[in-house]
């Protein structure tokens, strides 16, 4: 009896969690007449018309291309910058090490708007507004602290014997890092790459203000919400397409996602 | 000559550390420390985007904010939103995480489902909720009528708009609390629970007096994470209600954005953003001291 109740509560919570996504999918498969039908329809003749319309719209394709360029660029630079720094922070004792660690963690407490205003001013002066370079720089800045922090805890988990053996063989720290540490760090690097990609793909505020006329999908969707009020079917299809890579990441890399969201506090 | 070798290794190591750190540190400096300094400086100026040279006006922005009704209204709305979301998310998150421990067979599948809201693009979900909250065509009012409740103006009424925002935030972020608490539960020793069972404690008693006290550091961590993020919430409020109707859901963060970006009063907006940051820093320091959170070995490891 008790376990039936337990299962009941857990499944109700699962239903509550899935329902909005189900409803989005449901709406994306409806003809306009079904979308606005009262009462709302759960069963109807599904159509892919919304998807074909969205995938043939050059503006929508443009949003996706922009988002992809920004997310991939951000991921590459975040990995390249955070990996070496994290290794040194994890393995070497030097003055200021713990200060840097604290500084990185404290970035989680900074409200995005406080960072956004100076970015806006700097980008306005340097002409980086509405450029790929500008958007990538901003997103690297947003994700770098998370990347360094997670990579640092990954390196801390590696056995110290690796470096000891390498140094007995006379390898320099740089050689050790490149030929011993990096090859066995693929899973850690993959984790921060995936997280950076996901967070950049989903990001809205910085993309809106720094790239308003070079819109990512999130910004494009936001602009459509305003004046295309009743084209729910179209927007739902675009939103579902936007969720596809996200769902793939969730299914394949669930554990990494947990670590990224909790800054590694939960393994 | 013998001294040269260790010395050169040491020199090399120092150079290595510097080279490895420099790129990331330079970037962190240029794009977190420097912007922060610019923000602080802007907050002491009357910088308007339309009238460029920024003039130093001392504490005027801060004084004007602290003496304006709009600021205090936004402050209390932020506090209300943060309190409501953190409270509801903590209660549901702890409850579901606890129930999930006993559900061995379906646990893995359910856990994946519960993680969905954390991964999905916020804008896509906010758009979905906007459709569902639509007073005439939305599914929520339809379901309300179906079970005999009066339909609501979810986004058009001040009280309902706050409830709607809390609902979406709870939908999206309860899973994070759930995950942190579930992680804690998995790490707890089983002996105290066994002992309680042998002593004849009921399920509720052993949860209340054995599990919950041991779990507190994890609950505290979840509360800290959620409260900080709730106070910083922007996307959800800006896109779902735009801070309205009127200013009934305008939090400090939304106010800072509107001042700086919509009204191009960069000085005023910076001052508001700096205040948000000071509040978050002070409140989380206070909370960290009170909850002795730093004694959890997992935190910061």
**What pLDDT is stored for residue B2 in this prediction?**
36
- Mean pLDDT is highest, among A132-136, B143-147, B152-156, B288-292, for A132-136
Q: Is the domain of B99 the same as that of B187? A: yes
* Cα B205 to Cα B197: distance, rounded to the nearest angstrom: 10
Q: Is the domain of B101 the same as that of B26? A: no
Note which residues in 73-132 of chain B have CB less than 8 A from chain A. 92, 95-96, 99-100, 102-103, 106, 110-125, 127-132
Q: Is the domain of B1 the same as that of B120? A: no
Inter-chain touch B175–A225, beta carbons under 8 Å = no
Predicted confidence (pLDDT) at residue B5 exceeds the cutoff of 70: no
Inter-chain touch A21–B32, beta carbons under 8 Å = no
Closest residue of chain B to A36, computed from CA coordinates: B137
Distance from CA of B178 to the nearest CA of A (A): 11
Distance from CA of A214 to the nearest CA of B (A): 17
One DSSP character per residue, A36-49 reads T-SSPPSS-----H
Which H helix or E strand runs over B44? Answer: none
The residue behind tokens 């989005």 is A24
Q: What are B241's two structure tokens?
A: 């209600």
| B266 contacts chain A (CB < 8 A) | yes
Inter-chain touch A85–B23, beta carbons under 8 Å = yes
Closest residue of chain B to A198, computed from CA coordinates: B119
> Quick check: is B184 in a domain?
yes
Q: Which chain B positions have a beta carbon within 8 Å of A118's beta carbon?
A: 34-36, 38-39, 42, 270
Q: DSSP H helical segments within chain B, as ranges?
A: 4-28, 34-43, 60-66, 69-102, 104-119, 122-133, 139-146, 158-187, 191-198, 203-206, 212-232, 235-240, 252-257, 266-291
Please give the CATH number for the structural domain made up of A59-261: 1.10.3720.10
> Quick check: is B51 in a domain?
no
Q: Is the domain of B132 the same as that of B31? A: no
Q: Which chain A positions have a beta carbon within 8 Å of B136's beta carbon?
A: 38
Q: DSSP H helical segments within A92-111, as ranges?
A: 97-106
**What pLDDT is stored for residue B292 in this prediction?**
61
Predicted confidence (pLDDT) at residue B296 exceeds the cutoff of 80: no
Q: Is the domain of B84 the same as that of B12? A: no
Q: Which chain B positions have a beta carbon within 8 Å of A88's beta carbon?
A: 16-17, 20-21
Q: Which chain B positions have a beta carbon within 8 Å of A103's beta carbon?
A: 28
| Rg from Cα positions in chain A | 23
Q: Is the domain of B157 the same as that of B291? A: yes
Inter-chain touch A137–B31, beta carbons under 8 Å = yes
Q: Coil, helix or strand for B56? A: strand
> Quick check: is B54 in a domain?
no
Residue-wise pLDDT tens digits, B163-174: 999 999 999 999
Q: Which chain B positions have a beta carbon within 8 Å of A222's beta carbon?
A: 123, 239
**What pLDDT is stored for residue A1 in this prediction?**
58
Note which residues in 122-181 of chain B have CB less than 8 A from chain A. 122-125, 127-132, 136-139, 142, 171, 175-176, 179-180
* Cα A206 to Cα A31: distance, rounded to the nearest angstrom: 34
* Cα B21 to Cα B13: distance, rounded to the nearest angstrom: 12
Range of the domain at B100: 62-295
> Quick check: is B10 in a domain?
yes
Question: Out of A16, A21, A113, whose CB is closest to B256?
Answer: A113
Q: Which chain B positions have a beta carbon within 8 Å of A63's beta carbon?
A: none
CA angle B240, A129, A118 (to 5 degrees): 75
Residue-wise pLDDT tens digits, B238-254: 999 988 898 999 999 99
Question: Out of B38, B184, B280, whose CB is closest to A118?
Answer: B38
The residue behind tokens 């980008």 is A123
Q: Give the residue-averaged pLDDT of B254-283.
A: 89
Q: Which chain A positions have a beta carbon within 8 Å of B14's beta carbon?
A: 94
Q: Coil, helix or strand for B246? A: coil
Cβ pair A191, A183 in contact under 8 A: no
Residues of chain A with CATH 1.10.3720.10: 59-261
Residue-wise pLDDT tens digits, A14-36: 999 999 999 999 999 988 878 87
Q: For residue B52, which phi and psi values (nearest 5 degrees)?
A: -50, -60
Which H helix or E strand runs over A93? Answer: none
Beta bridge partners of B56: B45
Q: Is the domain of B205 the same as that of B282? A: yes
Inter-chain touch A177–B20, beta carbons under 8 Å = yes
The residue behind tokens 């935030």 is B169
Q: For residue B48, which phi and psi values (nearest 5 degrees)?
A: -115, 135
Q: Is the ipTM of this complex over 0.85?
A: yes
Q: Is the domain of B154 the same as that of B67? A: yes
Closest residue of chain A to B49, computed from CA coordinates: A121
| Mutation to test the B interface, candidates A111, A166, A229, most B Cβ within 10 Å | A111
| B186 contacts chain A (CB < 8 A) | no
CB-defined contacts A:B, below 8 A: 274
Distance from CA of A155 to the nearest CA of B (A): 11
Inter-chain touch B12–A113, beta carbons under 8 Å = no
Q: Is the domain of B35 the same as that of B68? A: no
Q: Is the domain of B19 the same as that of B98? A: no
Q: Is the domain of B169 the same as that of B262? A: yes
> Quick check: is B141 in a domain?
yes
Distance from CA of A232 to the nearest CA of B (A): 8
Categorize the per-residue pLDDT at B204 as very low, low, confident or very high, splitting at 50, 70 and 90: confident
Q: Is the domain of B11 the same as that of B102? A: no
Inter-chain touch B256–A111, beta carbons under 8 Å = yes
Q: For chain A, 267 residues long, give each residue's pLDDT as a single digit of tens.
A: 578 888 899 999 999 999 999 999 999 998 887 887 777 778 787 888 889 988 888 888 999 999 999 999 999 999 999 999 999 988 887 777 777 766 766 777 788 888 898 899 889 889 999 999 999 999 998 898 888 888 888 898 888 888 888 888 888 888 888 888 898 888 889 888 998 999 999 999 999 999 988 999 999 888 877 665 668 888 899 899 999 988 988 888 887 777 777 766 665
* Cα B189 to Cα B212: distance, rounded to the nearest angstrom: 13
> Quick check: is B49 in a domain?
no
* Cα B274 to Cα B282: distance, rounded to the nearest angstrom: 12
Predicted confidence (pLDDT) at residue B293 exceeds the cutoff of 60: no
**What pLDDT is stored for residue A4 in this prediction?**
85
> Quick check: is B159 in a domain?
yes
Closest residue of chain A to B293, computed from CA coordinates: A265
Per the structure, the count of domains in chain B is 2
């Amino acid at each position: 009896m008790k376990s039936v109740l337990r299962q009941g509560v857990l499944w109700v919570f699962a239903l509550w969690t899935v329902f909005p996504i189900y409803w989005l999918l449901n709406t994306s498969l409806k003809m306009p007449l079904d979308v606005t039908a009262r009462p709302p329809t759960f069963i109807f003749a599904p159509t892919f018309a919304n998807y074909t319309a969205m995938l043939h719209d050059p503006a929508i394709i443009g949003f996706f291309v922009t988002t992809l360029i920004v997310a991939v660029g951000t991921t590459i630079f975040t990995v390249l910058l955070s990996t070496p720094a994290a290794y040194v922070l994890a393995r070497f004792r030097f003055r200021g090490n713990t200060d840097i660690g604290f500084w990185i963690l404290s970035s989680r407490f900074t409200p995005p708007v406080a960072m956004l205003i100076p970015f806006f001013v700097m980008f306005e002066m340097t002409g980086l507004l509405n450029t790929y370079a500008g958007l990538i720089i901003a997103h690297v800045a947003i994700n770098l602290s998370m990347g360094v922090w997670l990579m640092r805890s990954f390196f801390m988990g590696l056995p110290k014997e690796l470096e000891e053996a390498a140094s007995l063989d006379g390898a320099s720290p740089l050689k050790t890092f490149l030929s011993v540490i990096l090859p066995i760090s693929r899973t850690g690097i993959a984790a921060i790459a995936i997280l950076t990609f996901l967070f950049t793909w989903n990001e809205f505020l910085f993309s809106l203000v720094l790239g308003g006329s070079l819109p990512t999908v999130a910004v494009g969707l936001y602009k459509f919400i305003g004046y295309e009020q009743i084209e729910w079917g179209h927007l739902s299809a675009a939103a579902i397409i936007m969720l596809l890579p996200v769902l793939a990441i969730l299914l394949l890399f669930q554990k990494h996602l947990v670590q990224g969201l909790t800054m590694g506090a939960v393994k | 000559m013998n001294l040269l070798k260790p010395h050169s290794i040491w020199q090399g190591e120092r150079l290595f550390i510097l080279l490895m750190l420099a790129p990331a540190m330079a970037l962190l400096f240029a794009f977190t420390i420097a912007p922060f300094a610019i923000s602080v400086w802007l907050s002491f100026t009357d910088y308007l985007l339309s009238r460029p040279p920024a003039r130093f006006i001392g504490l005027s922005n801060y004084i004007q904010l602290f003496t304006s009704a709009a600021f205090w209204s936004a402050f209390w709305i932020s506090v209300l939103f943060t309190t409501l979301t953190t409270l509801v998310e903590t209660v549901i998150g702890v409850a579901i995480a606890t129930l999930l421990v006993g559900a061995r067979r379906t646990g893995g599948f359910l856990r994946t489902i519960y993680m969905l809201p954390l991964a999905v693009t916020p804008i896509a979900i906010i758009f979905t909720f906007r459709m569902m909250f639509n007073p005439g065509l939305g599914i929520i009012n339809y379901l309300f009528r179906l079970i005999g409740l009066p339909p609501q103006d979810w986004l058009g009424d001040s009280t309902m708009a706050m409830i709607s925002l809390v609902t979406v935030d709870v939908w999206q972020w309860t899973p994070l609390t759930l995950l942190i608490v579930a992680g804690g539960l998995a790490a707890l020793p089983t002996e105290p629970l066994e002992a309680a069972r042998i002593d004849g404690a009921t399920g509720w008693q052993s949860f209340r007096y054995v599990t919950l006290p041991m779990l507190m550091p994890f609950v505290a961590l979840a509360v800290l994470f959620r409260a900080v993020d709730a106070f910083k919430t922007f996307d959800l409020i800006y896109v779902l209600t735009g801070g309205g109707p009127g200013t009934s859901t305008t939090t400090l963060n939304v106010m800072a954005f509107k001042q700086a970006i919509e009204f191009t009063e960069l000085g005023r907006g910076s001052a508001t953003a700096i205040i948000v940051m000071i509040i978050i820093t002070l409140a989380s320091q206070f909370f960290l001291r009170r909850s002795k959170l730093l004694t959890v070995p997992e935190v910061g490891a």
